[in-house]
């Protein structure tokens, strides 16, 4: 028996996202069954989700890790939707995305990475799944997310999307609702480089090892056990990072004070207070749903299907 399933997946450098699930882009391979954690048994190996993210990959088709993470995403969505796995072949349509800067060069390769593999059999949470990815359709990131709030931005002739992710900062200019792929880029200015610089400096000056969660708590003004000098240093470095980020966009000819700026991604939400206080941005909208790109991929895919 066959069952059709559409699962949109956002393959982030820091997190994997479906329309309903978020998990770290990290896995550990083992020949032994893990005692704890979410794991998947596939091709004779056990794969466990890990909080240790995969190092940044511009081209995520270089090995099988993001494919296996995609199998996790499919299984999570199938379970959420109450799909009966046993003796059922799940034929999957997979809307995915790429940064606008890399879309033209990589979208065909990225689509082919998921297809033409035949039936994939794996076990997740005690259930055996038989999955065949029939179609993988790639869309530009950020444009997809912006489409989820189209009514809020439709009155603007010019919209700039700024996606602050884990390793990269992606921007895209939209003119009258359509993406202008001649005005976009992907810069290595995400929050991970910020974390690394903060961790290095605090370690050098105070002999204390912060982690990403510590830094997030300080930036969000949450209670921590660190002394004021450390908290002030983290906040000052974050402010400098935001000023440099906005300065870089300005140098690239982007006027953030006209039209509308749409901020996307977990990094933008983390830095919202600093961005709003910068005085360098006019009208702006923050997309608070970090699954917005995945939801946008599914939305664009449904529009594309109706247009066929």
Interval 241-288: pLDDT, tens: 999 999 999 999 999 999 999 999 889 999 999 999 999 999 999 999
pTM for the model stands at 0.87
Shared domain for 45 and 175, answered yes or no, is: no
Q: Domain for residue 199, yes or no?
A: no
Shared domain for 97 and 162, answered yes or no, is: no
Q: Domain for residue 252, yes or no?
A: yes
Shared domain for 69 and 158, answered yes or no, is: no
Structural domain of 265: 149-191+223-288
Shared domain for 153 and 258, answered yes or no, is: yes
Q: Domain for residue 234, yes or no?
A: yes
Shared domain for 166 and 51, answered yes or no, is: no
Torsion sign (Cα): 4, 8, 12, 16: negative
Q: Domain for residue 208, yes or no?
A: no
- CA 294 to chain CA centroid, Å, is 9
Percent of the chain with pLDDT strictly greater than 70: 99
DSSP 103: H
Shared domain for 84 and 173, answered yes or no, is: no
**Residue with token string 């996307």:** 264
Shared domain for 132 and 165, answered yes or no, is: no
Shared domain for 166 and 103, answered yes or no, is: no
Q: Domain for residue 168, yes or no?
A: yes
Percent of the chain with pLDDT strictly greater than 90: 82
Shared domain for 180 and 88, answered yes or no, is: no
Shared domain for 181 and 278, answered yes or no, is: yes
Mean pLDDT of the 196-223 span: 95
Q: What does the pLDDT read at residue 126?
A: 87
Q: Domain for residue 264, yes or no?
A: yes
Q: Domain for residue 212, yes or no?
A: no
Q: What pLDDT, in 10s, does the model give residues 236-250?
A: 999 999 999 999 999
DSSP 191: H
Give residue 107's region: left, alpha or beta (phi > 0; psi -120 to 50): alpha
Residue 308 pLDDT > 70: no
Number of folded domains that form the chain: 2
Q: Domain for residue 210, yes or no?
A: no
Shared domain for 18 and 63, answered yes or no, is: yes
Q: What does the pLDDT read at residue 306?
A: 84
Q: What pLDDT, in 10s, does the model give residues 141-186?
A: 999 999 999 999 999 999 999 999 888 899 999 999 999 989 999 8
Strand residue runs (E) in 117-200: 120-124, 127-140, 158-164, 169-175, 178-187
Shared domain for 56 and 183, answered yes or no, is: no
Give the domain CATH number at 283.
3.30.420.40
Residue 83 pLDDT > 90: no
Cβ atoms of 121 and 198 within 8 Å: the answer is no
Other Cβ atoms closer than 10 A to 74: 24
Q: What pLDDT, in 10s, does the model give residues 100-142?
A: 998 989 999 999 999 989 999 999 998 999 999 999 999 999 9
């Amino acid at each position: 028996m066959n069952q059709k399933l559409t699962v949109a997946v956002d393959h982030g450098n820091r997190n994997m996202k479906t329309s309903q699930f978020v998990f770290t882009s990290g896995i550990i391979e083992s020949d032994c069954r893990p005692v704890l954690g979410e794991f998947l048994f596939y091709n004779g190996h056990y794969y466990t989700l890990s909080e240790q993210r995969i190092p940044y990959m511009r081209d995520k088709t270089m090995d099988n890790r993001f494919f296996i993470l995609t199998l996790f995403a499919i299984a999570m969505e199938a379970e959420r939707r109450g799909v009966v796995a046993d003796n059922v072949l799940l034929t999957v349509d997979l809307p995915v995305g790429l940064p606008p800067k890399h879309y033209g060069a990589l979208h065909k390769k990225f689509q082919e990475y998921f297809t033409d593999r035949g039936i994939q059999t794996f076990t997740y949470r005690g259930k055996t799944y038989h999955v065949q990815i029939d179609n993988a359709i790639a869309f530009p990131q950020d444009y997809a997310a912006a489409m989820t709030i189209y009514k809020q931005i439709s009155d603007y002739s010019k919209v700039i999307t700024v996606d602050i992710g884990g390793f990269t900062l992606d921007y895209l200019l939209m003119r009258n609702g359509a993406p202008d792929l001649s005005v976009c880029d992907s810069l290595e200015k995400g929050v991970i480089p910020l974390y690394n610089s903060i961790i290095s400096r605090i370690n050098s000056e105070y002999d204390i090892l912060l982690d990403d969660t510590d830094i997030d708590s300080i930036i969000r003004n949450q209670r921590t056990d660190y002394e004021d000098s450390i908290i002030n240093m983290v906040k000052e470095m974050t402010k400098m990072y935001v000023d440099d980020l906005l300065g870089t966009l300005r140098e690239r000819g982007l006027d953030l004070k006209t039209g509308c700026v749409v901020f996307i991604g977990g990094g933008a939400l983390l830095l919202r207070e600093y961005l709003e206080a910068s005085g360098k941005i006019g009208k702006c909208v923050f997309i608070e749903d970090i699954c917005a790109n995945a939801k946008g991929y599914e939305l664009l895919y449904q529009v594309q299907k109706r247009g066929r």
